[in-house]
A and B are shown apart, each in its own frame.
Chain A
Amino acid sequence: MSAHETMNLKLIVWRQAGPNQPGRFETYEAKNITPHHSFLEMLDVVNEDLIKAGQEPIAFDHDCREGICGMCSAVVNGVPHGGQQRTTLCQLHMRKFKDGDAIYLEPWRARAFPILRDLVVDRSALDKLIQTAGFVSCHTGGVPDGNAVLVGKPQADYAMDAAECIGCGACVAACPNSAAMLFAGAKVSQLAELPQGQVEAPQRVAAMVQAMADNGFGNCSNHYECEAACPKGIKVKFIARMNREFIKALALEKVGAVNTARLKSE
């Protein structure tokens, strides 16, 4: 499609007025959309039309609109973030669609993510995982010089690959079990790879695994949908790493009986 053509699309959108209220699909039209519109700018156009027509605009989460804050979140035609590789919804552009397309739009669906309104969900369960153990327990001040502990380039790069996670929750939404293994695995792997995080690695992985169960996330059964949906290309190898770290922790007897059963089932 050339840059000057415009398209009209049909949107079939999940509308829900609030938490615990019934929801339903409603159909809207998106008119005069150019290939350069981002997906969210297309939604802006639809919302402006709705407001002018005296209807409630579609609520959706977004902030940076450059693929880094992890705020945007919607399932497009069954795929979180719309299915363009390594691309968040806000970075998806309408040139990926064509005139007359019908687009289904739904919120993340997972037990751990209650719907707040329309496409907006509550992802605080992910924060809870980090609050439990996703850190190095250092206080401000009194730390050694940045170059005092060397970190090999491969280790730094590996940690960075894991740390690129934006915490959007697409992995959970994509997983048939609503597991947060990719999210947690990335954090566990990042910190276990760096000397600064190694001291607490066994306790961290044990606590993280427990916290996943406590916060309503399911188990991993190796579907790898999470990796496919991840807009940052976080790899499932970090789940494998978390499992290895967990077994190491078991050997060190840092893990309670609950988690032993959990891991063995996988």
Chain B
Amino acid sequence: MILDGKAPTGRIQDTWDKHRFDSLKLVNPANKRKYKILVVGTGLAGGSAAATLAELGYQVEAFAYQDSPRRAHSIAAQGGINAAKAYPNDGDSIYRLFYDTIKGGDFRAREADVWRLAQVSNNIIDQCVAQGVPFARDYAGYLDNRSFGGAQVSRTFFARGQTGQQLLLGAYSALSRQIGLGAVKMFPRTEMLDLVVVDGEAKGITVRDLVTGELRTHVGDAVVLATGGYVNVFYLSTNAMGCSVTANWKAHKKGAYFANPCYTQIHPTCIPQAGDYQSKLTLMSESLRNDGRIWVPKKKEDCNKAPNDIPEEDRDYYLERKYPSFGNLAPRDIASRAAKEQCDEGRGVGPGGRGVYLDFSASIKRLGEGTIRERYGNLFEMYERITDENAYQRPMRIYPAPHYSMGGLWVDYNLQSNVPGLFVLGEANFSVHGANRLGASALMQGLADGYFVIPYTIANYLAQTKPGKVKADHPECLKSVADVKATRDQLLAVNGKKTVTEFMREVGTLMWNDVGMARSEKSLTDALQKLPAIREEFWQNVKVSGSGEELNQQLENAGRTADFIEFAELLTRDALHRKESCGGHFRVESQYPDGEAMRDDANFAYSAAWESKGVGKDPELHKEPLKFENVHLAVRSYK
């Protein structure tokens, strides 16, 4: 089937304003309180959405698996948030942010959505300032900016190395205010385990109370998923331990299309893995690339030498050499692949030769250690805590790690999935980043979706539905609880020999090796053969102790792992079908002689949206063709 994203047409500059006026119905203020909206996830996207929808007068129920909405993984974002303010007078504009995002995404996103993102980006900064977010300021009191990968302007706003934390605390404060006022009912330590669809529309969710184990359905007039990304499918990633594909996957199994699952971002600057016991990888913000220079030894035999003993002429600053105009600020996919290449050639450093240097000595010489400390002090501290090395004296070692998912549930221009009444925001949807996300653009997207898009677009749906149509005793609700209970009981009943972690590590390792930074027909076919076997073994041999009626972290992880195993198949299948390289998706068969990614616009200028046909069955592919009327399809060059 050919999918329609329902993007408005006409002059791109006018699309969002015109759409709001011409195409979006309003719900009048007195009627808003009759509608109940369920918001799953309280990160930047869900938190801002829940707060804003409640301010408008809707009844809101919000859910998170952590013990407080303030702990969503958005909290971990370090580097910054983009906006087209053009405060530094360096040539930035809404158009340029739009252009950079389309190009950065390797021409695999919908133009109108990206335009809207760039357009509302400026409102986000204003909103956060008003909330008391302590953005960095210069001595005259103006907002400060830094640069991020994939852009030649300074458009990134930041709060030390904790931008995500500060933005989330801003959204959390707005949300808390609404909770205090009774306009939002907050359900922390509550995990969504099913979507309830009645007559084809999303009308509820079934959740598990993670403290008591109670299973119950919440009904509402619309469901908003803002449940984050899925790169924990690789086991080791920069995501928090609890980040999962579960909410998205359950919705997918209830009919929502999953778009471009193979677009995953591998972040170039993470602390390399130290051992097998490791449970997660730690990101070193990309902002470090503003002042750090990336290099490896030119000669293999130098790899074990102390870095400071390697003379300048024996160092290969490979990003500066290969991409002179962007240098160390080349986009993430390019920088990650380049690091892998150096290591594959045997010039990597540190344990297992899986690392490259990120060196601050030149900046320290130029600006002084004090300035570097002020800019990145907390990151250097974190690095030292983990590695026991002092990066002021010795270059950091970094290596790429899974970080972000550009793919997600398919949504139209209104952020509505193909299931009416189901809206998807933030990292959980597939909308604006195409095949590669630029740094500092995820925070922007989450807040754009939550503060400035969903409040308008959801009204259009609600205006056309009667409030309170479905009650909690509807047969679909009862069936949903029964299904969730059956799965839970099955997990507890297996009583096998392998722990949940062992299964997750097995799937993750397979995915990283075969479906990671470089994917081939062979590696993908291989993975597709192995995954069903892992899935079958899981259901026969997993060991989950305890009961369902208590706080049981193993049971939580078991459910998430089961979903990851099923999802891994879809991701791999998507990667296999996309016989081109684009953005974070690199097919070794599809490259130029110099190793750069080769896109195939003639055959693949579309978003791939997969429809579930049941576990173990081939999903059906739907295509949404992509049209580029404002940015010309071109080979993406950062040379």
Contact at A140–B51, with CB atoms within 8 Å?
Answer: yes
Closest chain B residue to A91, Cβ basis: B385
Contact at A131–B180, with CB atoms within 8 Å?
Answer: yes
Q: Looking at the assembled complex, report how far the CB atom of A28 sits from the nearest CB atom of chain B, in whole angstroms.
A: 16
Which of B106-114, B402-410, B548-556 is found at the contact surface with chain A?
B548-556
Known: A69-B71, A160-B159. A131 touches B143 (CB 8 A): no
Does A68 lie at the interface of the complex (its beta carbon under 8 Å from any beta carbon of B)? yes
Chain B 53-91 near chain A by CB (<8 Å), digits 1 or 0? 001000000000011111101011000000001010000
Interface centre among B75, B132, B169 (most CB of A within 10 A): B132
Contact at A196–B176, with CB atoms within 8 Å?
Answer: no
Contact at B67–A123, with CB atoms within 8 Å?
Answer: yes
Within 8 A of A (CB), among B471-514: 499, 501
Interface centre among A36, A95, A140, A191 (most CB of B within 10 A): A140
CB-defined contacts of B73 to chain A, threshold 8 Å? 63-64, 69
Q: Total interface residues on B, using CB and 8 Å? A: 78
Interface centre among A36, A93, A149, A155 (most CB of B within 10 A): A36
Closest chain A residue to B239, Cβ basis: A64
Which of B27-35, B270-278, B336-344, B423-431 is found at the contact surface with chain A?
B270-278
Which of A37-45, A99-107, A172-180, A255-263 is found at the contact surface with chain B?
A37-45
Which of B133-141, B216-224, B597-605 is found at the contact surface with chain A?
B133-141
CB-defined contacts of B386 to chain A, threshold 8 Å? 38, 91, 93
Within 8 A of B (CB), among A29-67: 34, 36-38, 40-41, 44-45, 48, 51-52, 54-57, 59, 61-67
Contact at A41–B130, with CB atoms within 8 Å?
Answer: no
Does A22 lie at the interface of the complex (its beta carbon under 8 Å from any beta carbon of B)? no
Does B177 lie at the interface of the complex (its beta carbon under 8 Å from any beta carbon of A)? yes
CA distance A61 to B242 in the complex (A): 11
Q: Looking at the assembled complex, report how far the CB atom of A171 sits from the nearest CB atom of chain B, in whole angstroms.
A: 15
Within 8 A of A (CB), among B149-195: 159-160, 162, 165-166, 169, 172-174, 176-177, 179-180, 186, 188
Q: Looking at the assembled complex, report how far the CB atom of B547 sits from the nearest CB atom of chain A, in whole angstroms.
A: 10
Contact at A194–B160, with CB atoms within 8 Å?
Answer: no
Interface centre among B87, B162, B166, B173 (most CB of A within 10 A): B173
Does A134 lie at the interface of the complex (its beta carbon under 8 Å from any beta carbon of B)? yes
Contact at A160–B385, with CB atoms within 8 Å?
Answer: no
Which of A114-122, A214-222, A238-246 is found at the contact surface with chain B?
A114-122
CB-defined contacts of B21 to chain A, threshold 8 Å? none
CA distance A138 to B132 in the complex (A): 10
Q: Looking at the assembled complex, report how far the CB atom of A156 sits from the nearest CB atom of chain B, in whole angstroms.
A: 4
Q: Looking at the assembled complex, report how far the CB atom of B358 sits from the nearest CB atom of chain A, in whole angstroms.
A: 18
CB-defined contacts of B180 to chain A, threshold 8 Å? 131-132
CB-defined contacts of A157 to chain B, threshold 8 Å? 134
Within 8 A of B (CB), among A159-188: 159-160, 163-164, 166-167
Known: A59-B551, A66-B76. A136 touches B275 (CB 8 A): no
Does B615 lie at the interface of the complex (its beta carbon under 8 Å from any beta carbon of A)? no
Please tell me which one of the listed residues A64, A91, A93 contacts residue B76 in the complex, with CB atoms under 8 A apart: A64
Closest chain A residue to B451, Cβ basis: A140
Does B129 lie at the interface of the complex (its beta carbon under 8 Å from any beta carbon of A)? yes
Within 8 A of A (CB), among B519-550: 543, 545-546, 550
Please tell me which one of the listed residues B66, B71, B76, B275 contacts residue A34 in the complex, with CB atoms under 8 A apart: B275
Which of B120-128, B393-401, B563-571 is found at the contact surface with chain A?
B120-128
Closest chain B residue to A128, Cβ basis: B180
CA distance A183 to B149 in the complex (A): 36
Closest chain A residue to B181, Cβ basis: A131
CA distance A172 to B172 in the complex (A): 21
CA distance A257 to B339 in the complex (A): 64
CB-defined contacts of B136 to chain A, threshold 8 Å? 156, 160
Contact at A164–B162, with CB atoms within 8 Å?
Answer: yes
Within 8 A of B (CB), among A190-214: 190-191, 194, 196-197
Please tell me which one of the listed residues B132, B137, B142, B186 contacts residue A196 in the complex, with CB atoms under 8 A apart: B132
Contact at B134–A66, with CB atoms within 8 Å?
Answer: no
CB-defined contacts of A59 to chain B, threshold 8 Å? 551, 553
Q: Looking at the assembled complex, report how far the CB atom of B404 sits from the nearest CB atom of chain A, in whole angstroms.
A: 15
Please tell me which one of the listed residues B143, B177, B186, B382 contacts residue A135 in the complex, with CB atoms under 8 A apart: B177
CB-defined contacts of B550 to chain A, threshold 8 Å? 17-18, 117
Closest chain A residue to B455, Cβ basis: A140
Does B279 lie at the interface of the complex (its beta carbon under 8 Å from any beta carbon of A)? yes
Contact at B141–A134, with CB atoms within 8 Å?
Answer: no
CA distance A48 to B276 in the complex (A): 14
Does B52 lie at the interface of the complex (its beta carbon under 8 Å from any beta carbon of A)? yes
Does B240 lie at the interface of the complex (its beta carbon under 8 Å from any beta carbon of A)? yes
Within 8 A of A (CB), among B316-365: none
Contact at B179–A48, with CB atoms within 8 Å?
Answer: no
Contact at A147–B143, with CB atoms within 8 Å?
Answer: yes
Does B131 lie at the interface of the complex (its beta carbon under 8 Å from any beta carbon of A)? yes
Contact at A65–B165, with CB atoms within 8 Å?
Answer: no
Q: Looking at the assembled complex, report how far the CB atom of B45 sits from the nearest CB atom of chain A, in whole angstroms.
A: 14
CB-defined contacts of B173 to chain A, threshold 8 Å? 130, 134-136
Known: A127-B70, A134-B176, A146-B85. A69 touches B76 (CB 8 A): yes
Does B381 lie at the interface of the complex (its beta carbon under 8 Å from any beta carbon of A)? yes
CA distance A117 to B75 in the complex (A): 25
Contact at A44–B277, with CB atoms within 8 Å?
Answer: yes
CA distance A155 to B172 in the complex (A): 22
A-B contact pairs, 18 of them (CB 8 A): A40-B279, A51-B543, A54-B545, A55-B545, A56-B546, A57-B545, A69-B240, A122-B211, A127-B176, A140-B55, A150-B140, A151-B134, A151-B137, A156-B137, A160-B166, A167-B71, A190-B132, A197-B132
Known interface pairs A66-B282, A130-B173; 11 further A-B residue pairs with C-beta atoms within 8 A, sorted by A's residue number: A40-B279, A41-B278, A52-B543, A61-B67, A63-B71, A67-B382, A91-B385, A93-B388, A140-B55, A151-B141, A166-B75
The 8 closest A-B pairs by CB, nearest first: A150-B141, A131-B180, A135-B173, A143-B130, A159-B134, A160-B134, A156-B137, A146-B129
